A and B are shown apart, each in its own frame.
Chain A
Amino acid sequence: RALSGRAGPRSVRQLQEAEAVAPRFQYAGKATKRKDRVFVWGFCFSGALGISSFVRPDAGWKKPRRVQPTPYRLETLEKISSAACGYGFTLLSSKTTDITKVWGMGLNKDSQLGFQRSRKDRTKGYEYVLEPSPIPLPLEKPQQTRVLQVSCGRAHSLILTDSEGVFTMGNNSYGQCGRKVVEDETYSESLLIHQLNEFDSRVVQVVCGQDHSLFRTKKGAVYACGWGADGQTGLGHYNITSEPTKLRGDIDGVNIIQVSSYGDCCLAVSDEGDVFGWGNSEYLQLACVTETTQVNVPRHLPFKIGKVKEAACGGTGNVVVTEEGNVFVWGYGILGKGPNLTETAVPEMIPPSLFGQSDFNPDVRVVHVRCGLSQFAALTNRGELFVWGKNIRGCLGIGRMEDQYFPWRVTVPGEVVDVACGVDHMVSLVKSF
């Protein structure tokens, strides 16, 4: 009896003594860092999500997954600082000084992810890349240069570095890579990566439209090259441009702080909060200044909505966010104000109560807006992600396959820092709690 433990119900004092003696565990200390994660969702068969088990399952009885309707974690080796979604492919980049700085996955039929050497046959390359694979860049100082930003278009990609200019790869049939168009060039399995260095000052932002490229320099100037049949190069003509050329028009002399494009329309925001637009206007994107359907010179859009901080262009609709945190949409398609509003030429505000603002949380503001081809995404200062638009192959990430007519929260286990929208998939950079 002396060897066995206590028997019978314990008294309060015994319980308190047992509690005081119990070990105290520490799961997190004061200096615990928050981890950086990447979440992907959308259409899987192109390989753009970077999870090979969706396309080629690891067990024979499992079926390939066509759509990932909710956010799924993508394991990466390094902290990803910039992500971009193209038409069926994705680029991830990190600000590291290691040799591998950029990873790509998805379609590679035009070498938009560089040359991915096939392991079976050393002379051929992969047409579909199912996992994030490193993209070798011809850097002069690979252990000093850092990659700042990546951007993807329909079949080409741009990589911005801090000291070695811009690297372009992919399809160049319209000069969108910034080099001369070579007739009958085969773009698949191509080893060519072009480097662009001749700008008036250092390039700070690169943006890819569908078949054209825009470069914004530190001095506030914008350069463009690529297809111009809708005037999206903004150079005053409707022809192809194969060398990056500076834009004039209403933005001549204006300090531009942000450029955006995804389809054939382009928007630029100046440091004083004015919005300039050029390109395709078939969907009333620029209808407030002109009735023509193509505008090939940047025009100032006289909106009286306050100082604009960020703009984003989609295929048929545009969205801006002002300094106070209000979101304005215009254009055509599912704009985010219910099924009745399908097109407007004048920006309409989306009520802030849809982004979580209420009497309980009066200081919720929208900080960033992003556009996919027919989807919109907004990030609030609380780290929440709201999406709306056409739900093409589950790209909204809300768990349902129907279109979403007003902003809807995406449940991500963490604070969303950045999001990149593509045609049928999205990538988000998240900090854990």
Chain B
Amino acid sequence: LNAIAERAPRQHIRFLPSPDGDPGLVATKVPVLADHPLVKGPRFRQLKIGPGHRLDTKSSGVFVLGIGHGNKLLTDLYNCHLTKVYTVGGLFGKATDDFSDTGRLVEKTTFDHITREKLERIIAVIQGSNHKALLMYSNIDMKTQEAYELAVKGLIRPMEKSPPLITAIRCLQLALPEFQLEIHCLHETQQYLRKIVHEIGLELKSSAVCTQVRRIRDGVFTLDDALLRTQWNLQTIQKAIWDCQLKVKTELEKTL
């Protein structure tokens, strides 16, 4: 950033003694000393970079950052309460103390009785009870006509702090002992998702641990917008910010 050409130094008029040796002062335009690069130093000494929604060390995926003035947009994006989408991988047959496969083993169980139909039934129940909690935490009076209309469209969402809620959950694949789920959620932590995997295992009368948590969508930002480790240079970052600006602006205007 500092290598980019900066603006030209300002000029001002000073009365200096004439170079020819004549007595008296001559008005000359000289650059302001305070604008000299050796006086004021490099333009950018530090950058303010703020994180969006948290992602813990064992997970991967889309992680939104705000740079400079963009940090103010981060709070607005948080208040939009948009859903995040995760791909969660799990393994049947084990239960550990921190619900992931690197933890201390608590129990081993059989899992050959699990079928896709049973898994889908449990998932439907989780969705149902979370849908009910979604309506309850959204703090809308259920007796009004507008509450009914929002419920029909499916737009009721809590607009303040609430416990973690799952808006949709789907089984992508089941190949015993492994399985993969797609979870759309609000206000969650990755450890909560691992706990859900553990509880699914318990409901199916077996046990499960979570092997992978990957965020594939965070509000308006998808995997396509995300930059890889090899792309962390100025040009790609600038291009990414430019591409996403329009999306972020429309989303903020729609919600707030």
Indicate, yes or no, whether A interacts with B: yes
Contact partners of B249 in chain A: CB under 8 A = none
B245 at the interface (CB under 8 A from A): no
Q: Is the CB of B143 within 8 A of A402?
A: yes
Alpha-carbon distance between A361 and B90 when the two chains are bound, in angstroms: 22
Q: Is the CB of A30 within 8 A of B113?
A: yes
Chain B residues 67-100 with CB under 8 Å of chain A are 93
Q: Is the CB of B206 within 8 A of A27?
A: yes
Q: Is the CB of B152 within 8 A of A382?
A: no
Alpha-carbon distance between A413 and B168 when the two chains are bound, in angstroms: 19
Q: Is the CB of A411 within 8 A of B108?
A: no
Q: Is the CB of A30 within 8 A of B112?
A: yes
Closest beta carbon of chain B to A398's beta carbon, Å: 9
Alpha-carbon distance between A400 and B32 when the two chains are bound, in angstroms: 74
Alpha-carbon distance between A409 and B142 when the two chains are bound, in angstroms: 13
Closest beta carbon of chain A to B86's beta carbon, Å: 14
B11 at the interface (CB under 8 A from A): no
Which listed residue (B113, B128, B151) contacts A354, Cβ 8 A? B151
Q: Is the CB of B107 within 8 A of A25?
A: yes
Q: Is the CB of A383 within 8 A of B121?
A: yes
Q: A22-B105, A340-B145, A433-B121 are in contact. Are A28 and B205 (CB under 8 A)?
A: yes
Q: Is the CB of B124 within 8 A of A26?
A: no
A358 at the interface (CB under 8 A from B): yes
Q: A339-B144, A358-B154, A402-B142 are in contact. Are A408 and B132 (CB under 8 A)?
A: yes
Q: Is the CB of A406 within 8 A of B109?
A: no
| Chain A CB within 10 A, most for which of B110, B122, B131, B148 | B148
Alpha-carbon distance between A110 and B144 when the two chains are bound, in angstroms: 42
Alpha-carbon distance between A252 and B217 when the two chains are bound, in angstroms: 61
Q: Is the CB of B128 within 8 A of A405?
A: no
Q: How large is the interface on A (under 10, 10 to 19, 20 to 34, 35 or more residues)?
A: 35 or more
Alpha-carbon distance between A30 and B132 when the two chains are bound, in angstroms: 32
Contact partners of B124 in chain A: CB under 8 A = 361, 382-384
Q: Is the CB of B142 within 8 A of A22?
A: no
Alpha-carbon distance between A289 and B62 when the two chains are bound, in angstroms: 61
| Chain A CB within 10 A, most for which of B107, B122, B125, B154 | B125
Q: Is the CB of A358 within 8 A of B142?
A: no
Q: Is the CB of A403 within 8 A of B143?
A: yes
B129 at the interface (CB under 8 A from A): yes
Chain B residues 197-232 with CB under 8 Å of chain A are 203-206
Contact partners of B128 in chain A: CB under 8 A = 356, 382, 384, 409, 411
Which listed residue (A22, A25, A337) contacts B110, Cβ 8 A? A25
B187 at the interface (CB under 8 A from A): no
B118 at the interface (CB under 8 A from A): yes
Alpha-carbon distance between A88 and B6 when the two chains are bound, in angstroms: 86
Which listed residue (B93, B142, B145, B170) contacts A360, Cβ 8 A? B170
A57 at the interface (CB under 8 A from B): no
A32 at the interface (CB under 8 A from B): yes
Contact partners of B108 in chain A: CB under 8 A = 19, 22-25
Q: Is the CB of A26 within 8 A of B168?
A: no
Q: A28-B206, A339-B143, A339-B145 are in contact. Are A406 and B151 (CB under 8 A)?
A: yes
Alpha-carbon distance between A337 and B148 when the two chains are bound, in angstroms: 7
Alpha-carbon distance between A102 and B166 when the two chains are bound, in angstroms: 43
A29 at the interface (CB under 8 A from B): yes
Chain A residues 331-369 with CB under 8 Å of chain B are 337-340, 351, 353-354, 356, 358, 360-361
A310 at the interface (CB under 8 A from B): no
Which listed residue (A18, A28, A338, A351) contacts B145, Cβ 8 A? A338
Closest beta carbon of chain A to B95's beta carbon, Å: 10
Q: Is the CB of A360 within 8 A of B168?
A: yes
Alpha-carbon distance between A383 and B117 when the two chains are bound, in angstroms: 13
| Chain A CB within 10 A, most for which of B143, B168, B170 | B143
Residue of B nearest to A400 (CB): B142
Which listed residue (A19, A25, A28, A353) contacts B152, Cβ 8 A? A353
A415 at the interface (CB under 8 A from B): yes
Contact partners of A409 in chain B: CB under 8 A = 128-129, 131-132
Contact partners of B113 in chain A: CB under 8 A = 28-30, 32
Chain B residues 167-186 with CB under 8 Å of chain A are 168, 170
Alpha-carbon distance between A18 and B203 when the two chains are bound, in angstroms: 26
A213 at the interface (CB under 8 A from B): no
Closest beta carbon of chain B to A25's beta carbon, Å: 5
B153 at the interface (CB under 8 A from A): yes
Q: Is the CB of A405 within 8 A of B143?
A: yes
B243 at the interface (CB under 8 A from A): no
Q: Is the CB of B144 within 8 A of A358?
A: no
B251 at the interface (CB under 8 A from A): no
A205 at the interface (CB under 8 A from B): no
Contact partners of B170 in chain A: CB under 8 A = 360
Q: Is the CB of A338 within 8 A of B149?
A: yes
A82 at the interface (CB under 8 A from B): no
Q: Is the CB of A351 within 8 A of B152?
A: yes
Chain B residues 130-155 with CB under 8 Å of chain A are 131-132, 142-145, 147-149, 151-154
Closest beta carbon of chain A to B17's beta carbon, Å: 79
A404 at the interface (CB under 8 A from B): yes
Q: Is the CB of A27 within 8 A of B205?
A: yes
Residue of B nearest to A412 (CB): B125
Q: Is the CB of B203 within 8 A of A433?
A: yes
Residue of B nearest to A360 (CB): B168
Contact partners of A18 in chain B: CB under 8 A = 105
Alpha-carbon distance between A278 and B72 when the two chains are bound, in angstroms: 66
Q: Is the CB of B205 within 8 A of A19?
A: no
Alpha-carbon distance between A294 and B10 when the two chains are bound, in angstroms: 95
Residue of A nearest to B170 (CB): A360
* 5 further contact pairs, Cβ within 8 A, besides A26-B110, A406-B152, A409-B132: A22-B108, A28-B206, A338-B144, A361-B124, A403-B143
Q: Which 5 A-B pairs have the closest CB atoms?
A: A338-B148, A28-B205, A27-B205, A24-B108, A360-B168
13 A–B pairs (Cβ distance < 8 Å), ordered by A: A26-B109, A29-B110, A339-B144, A339-B148, A356-B131, A360-B170, A383-B124, A405-B148, A406-B142, A406-B151, A409-B131, A415-B121, A433-B122
Chain A positions near chain B (C-beta within 8 angstroms) = 15, 18-19, 22-30, 32, 337-340, 351, 353-354, 356, 358, 360-361, 382-384, 402-406, 408-409, 411, 415, 433
